Amino acid sequence: MQLLLQIDTPDYEGWKSAFDADAEDRMHAGLTLLQLWRDADTNGQAFALFEVNDRAKAEAWVQKERGFGGQMTASFLLTA
């Protein structure tokens, strides 16, 4: 299972610094970062793709992260 996040933030550099510092928490939530993209046309938009090892822990992490400003959309995906 994968998790795709769309993050809209007014301060990409600040968000990216906090995101990098959160690597250990993501690991404990059963998430492995596969890819991180920054929108080519919208400065404050990023997308992150994770491998999910434990959905319940990943959902709890997503809920915690939603409290850190900016809009975030989370989609749990299965390979078709």
Looking at residue 40, which CATH number applies to its domain? 3.30.70.260
Q: How many CB atoms lie within 10 A of CB 64?
A: 12
Q: Domain residues for 67?
A: 2-77
pLDDT at 2 over 80: yes
**Residues 78, 79, 80, CA angle at the centre, nearest 5°?**
110
Whole-structure pTM value? 0.90
- Residues 6 or more apart whose CB falls under 8 angstroms from that of 59 comprise none
Position 71 confidence tier, pLDDT thresholds 50, 70, 90: confident
Count the domains in the chain.
Answer: 1
In Å, how far are 28, 41, 45, 54, 71 from 37, measured between CA atoms? 22, 12, 9, 23, 16
